[in-house]
Amino acid sequence: MAKTAQELAKERLARIEAAINFEEPDRVPVWGFGGDIVPAYSGYTNYDMCYDEEKTLKASEKFMRDFPFDSSMAGITGLDGRVFCMAFAEYDDLSPLMTFITGPIHDILGDKYTRFPGREIDKTAPAQFIGGTFMEPDEYDQLIEDPVKFIAETVLPRACRNLETPRQAMATWVRLGMEIARSGAFMAEFGKMNAELGYPPFPMGWGYAPLDIIGDFLRGVSNVVLDIRRYPDKVKKATEAITEWMIKYALAYTKMGTKYAMFPLHLNEYLSPKLYNEFYWPYLKKVILALHEVGVKSIVFFEGRHDAHLETILELPKGWGIAYFEKTDVVKAKELLKGHTCVMGGIPITLIASGTPEEIDKYVKDLLEKVKPGGGFILAPGVAAAPSDTPLENITALIEAVEKYG
């Protein structure tokens, strides 16, 4: 007899929570993915996913129904907008609403951080975050003195075409508020669809590494790496000033009942251990610890190769959250962090995109033999976005391999 949606959701959530708590679940949980494959599977484009909510719901439902993971990333089309959260950080009822730049929000703001299909790029291309430089080196003192004021009044008018003048800004913020209210109804419908498909509610907020705010939204990645060497004291003071507001933003989600906070990291793989431990990790750690103190577990996506910095994770309290790795050897990470940190990752998205079902089956079998014992592991793609031409039989092979060996 088929399980009900409620039974499936309960089973999946129990599986994920057991792994997080270092218990051995009935099988290793597998985190799903989205990306270009989701619209392509239904004959839609990335433009449709960004601008047509009806098609987004249809495409996401079909993909999530036919490829049942324990948790799904299908349907996520927004790009990072954390700089706007900083601009509204004084208002904890507003700052979480600005976390993502969607297609309609991009149009309203005219932001220069992103490019969207059917706008700056082809309708078939995925939305792109390109960042930019919207602050000069001699402006660090202003950032240090008042990060929220500087970002809201100086950076955003430079970064958004429709915020350049006060009159433009007034109209833009009204339009933005209307769009956020409208999109809330869509998110409610999306949540209802998830429940009907047996996917568990996963109350998750967001955080960000303070130095990444400077690198992604203010100075640009290459510039901030140079700034660390040219103006080390100013970079430290600016990062410290941002940290206070990042904690306030991350904690604002707790009023919505969140139990987890996702952190996508960017500069971590660009920095040597010395620079990482001096300019990046202490401030990120402060945000994670602030969440831990109120019972929120962090899910930190360590982008690229994080091997050089692995041992710093042991500085966090046992059970602080999940270390999600893109390219880092998860076998090595599991050995080091066993009983301290739940480890997530292990599946190269290139294997799903260009491998064979047989290769996927063998890879999953070999990997799970090493990381399954003792629990504390969630299988996931290193990048949760698959290309449009990903062989469907490969996705099925991944799900079936986890059922066999997990």
pLDDT tens for 16-30 read: 999 999 998 999 999
Split at pLDDT 50, 70, 90, the class of 317 is: very high
Inform me whether the pLDDT recorded for 238 exceeds 80. yes
Inform me whether the pLDDT recorded for 216 exceeds 90. yes
**HSE of 385, CA atoms in CB hemisphere, 13 A:** 13
Q: What is the spatial distance between Cα 314 and Cα 358, in angstroms, rounded to a whole number?
A: 37
At 244, the amino acid letter reads E
Q: Give the pLDDT confidence score for residue 201 in this predicted structure.
A: 86
DSSP 356: -
- Which residues in 189-257 belong to E strands, given as ranges? 204-206
Question: At the topology level of CATH, where does 5-405 sit?
Answer: TIM Barrel (3.20.20)
Mean pLDDT of 140-154: 98
Q: Give the pLDDT confidence score for residue 72 in this predicted structure.
A: 85
Q: Give the pLDDT confidence score for residue 401 in this predicted structure.
A: 98
Mean pLDDT of 33-61: 95
- Strand order across the beta sheet in which 321-325 lies: 204-206, 260-264, 297-302, 321-325, 342-347, 377-381
Split at pLDDT 50, 70, 90, the class of 2 is: confident
Q: Give the pLDDT confidence score for residue 255 in this predicted structure.
A: 92
Q: What is the spatial distance between Cα 263 and Cα 215, in angstroms, rounded to a whole number?
A: 15
Sign of the dihedral through C-alpha 377, 379, 382, 385: negative
Inform me whether the pLDDT recorded for 203 exceeds 90. no
Split at pLDDT 50, 70, 90, the class of 307 is: very high
Q: How many CB atoms are located within 10 Å of the residue 138 CB?
A: 9
pLDDT tens for 72-131 read: 887 778 899 999 999 999 999 999 999 999 999 999 999 999 999 999 999 999 999 999
> Concatenated DSSP letters for 22-89?
T---SS--BB--BSTHHHHHTT--HHHHHH-HHHHHHHHHHHHHHS--SB--TT---EE-HHHHHHTT
| Cα–Cα separations (whole angstroms), residue 282 to 210, 217, 301 | 10, 20, 17
pTM of the predicted model, to two decimals? Answer: 0.96
Inform me whether the pLDDT recorded for 355 exceeds 90. yes
Provide the mean pLDDT of the chain.
96
CB-based contacts of 95, cutoff 8 Å, min separation 6:
85, 86, 88, 89, 248, 249, 252
Inform me whether the pLDDT recorded for 202 exceeds 90. no
DSSP 277: I
Which tokens in the block code for residue 130?
């390109």
Split at pLDDT 50, 70, 90, the class of 375 is: very high
Mean pLDDT of 50-77: 92
